[in-house]
A and B are shown apart, each in its own frame.
Chain A
Amino acid sequence: MALPHETSDSDSHSRGPGARGYALVWIALVALATLTLLASRAVTGSGGLVLALAIAGAKAALVAAFFMHLAGGRPIHRIVFGVAVAFIVLLVLGVLADVGTRSIASSYVDELGRPL
């Protein structure tokens, strides 16, 4: 049976930002998408990709925080999703650290000068 105090940890406080708030988030998302498009024409190469991914990260944060109610929701939801995001970043960085240092590894030689 439910005791009165047990309902105090409900998610009733995480009702979201309201219709106007949702509309503002959407406007910000559309503006950031347009900015990504314009920036991709202006900044090319690896710098452009890093910039585009940074803007994508900002858009994802807006969607997760407000549309998905991570902001103001229960902390455990932020922990679960945050850990998944951290694992993805670790995986990609680990892979890049591997492929990015293979040219160094291929220059290693043993004491007789033979490639390892």
Chain B
Amino acid sequence: MTPPVVHVQYDSLERQHVTARLGMWVFLASESLLFAGLLALYAAYRFAYPAEFHAASAHANLVIGTVNTYVLLTSSLTVALAIHATRRGQRRRTVALLLATIALGLAFDVLKAIEYAQHLAEGLAPGGYYTHDALPARGTVLYVTLYYLLTGLHALHVTGGLAVLAWLTVRAQRGDFTPGAHIALELGGLYWHLVDLVWIFLWPLLYLIG
């Protein structure tokens, strides 16, 4: 077990945690703005090509997209419960809930990969690689390209979040987190919730506009 270190500029561990939380929220705010650029592009092109976006979104796999929505919502619950378990000093429960969160995150990525493979087999590839004959209109290519940019950037965040969760699971198993000192777990949980927040908006924008 690694005891928590109070850095020299802080009066107490609590003060250090207050600062860490604020830093994390600023990071999450800047992450949100990273997605905002693509959402603005989406708004512009959806306005310009409503019919094409409508037709193209019918080719998104609604079943996989919907299952992934429930998967991510549930993973947000398990990570919140993991932090709750740590606050109650339940180490084994924390580890089990973190492993459940990782399993759900992996399921999301696997389903996303299956979906991408289906799209590519149909010729629904981004930009100049688009070869789908039934939907040749320009707006459709824009929808498909934005679909890959938005879901791809999101999937990268899921994958990064999984790496963080794996590291947190190892630390939780090692007994690094105590009811009063588990800031890394708390911040990792915040990041995972942001990944969920982004998907909450991507799902209707990409799958349900038909």
Q: How does the 8 Å CB contact mask read for B11-40 relative to A, with 1 for contact and 0 for none?
A: 110110110011001101110110011011
Residue-wise, chain B 45-67 has the 8 Å CB interface mask toward A (1 for contact) of 00110100000000000000010
User: Are A40 and B204 neighbours in the complex by a CB distance under 8 Å?
Assistant: yes
| B-side contacts of A2, CB under 8 Å | 11-12, 14-15
Across the interface, do B204 and A49 meet the contact criterion of CB distance under 8 Å? yes
Q: Is the CB of A67 within 8 A of B204?
A: no
Q: Are B80 and A16 in contact (CB under 8 A)?
A: yes
Task: Output the least CB separation between A86 and chain B (Å).
Answer: 11
Report how far A55 CA is from B200 CA in the complex, Å: 9
| Among candidates A22, A59, A74, A95, residue contacting B80 with C-beta atoms closer than 8 Å | A22
Give the nearest-CB partner of A76 in chain B. B22
B36/A92 in contact, CB under 8 A: yes
Across the interface, which residues of A come within 8 angstroms of B117, CB to CB? none
> If the complex has contacts A11-B17, A36-B204, A74-B21, are A96 and B43 also in contact, measured as CB distance less than 8 A?
yes
Where chain A touches its partner, the secondary structure class is helix
Q: Is B81 an interface position by the 8 A CB rule? A: yes
Interface size class of B (residues with CB under 8 A): 35 or more
Establish whether residues B84 and A16, one from each chain, have CB atoms under 8 Å apart when the complex forms. yes
Contacts of A96 in B (CB 8 A): 43-44, 47
Give the number of residues in A that approach B within 8 Å (Cβ atoms).
Answer: 57
Of B71-79, B131-139, B143-151, B152-160, the one contacting chain A is B71-79
Interface stretch (choices B105-113, B118-126, B170-178, B190-198): B190-198
> Which has the most chain A C-beta neighbours within 10 Å: B18, B189, B196, B204?
B204
Which residues of A come within 8 Å of B, CB atoms?
1-3, 6-7, 9-12, 15-16, 18-19, 22-23, 25-26, 29-30, 33, 36-37, 40, 44, 46, 48-49, 52-53, 55-56, 59-60, 63-64, 66-68, 73-74, 76-77, 80-81, 83-85, 87-88, 91-92, 94-96, 98-100
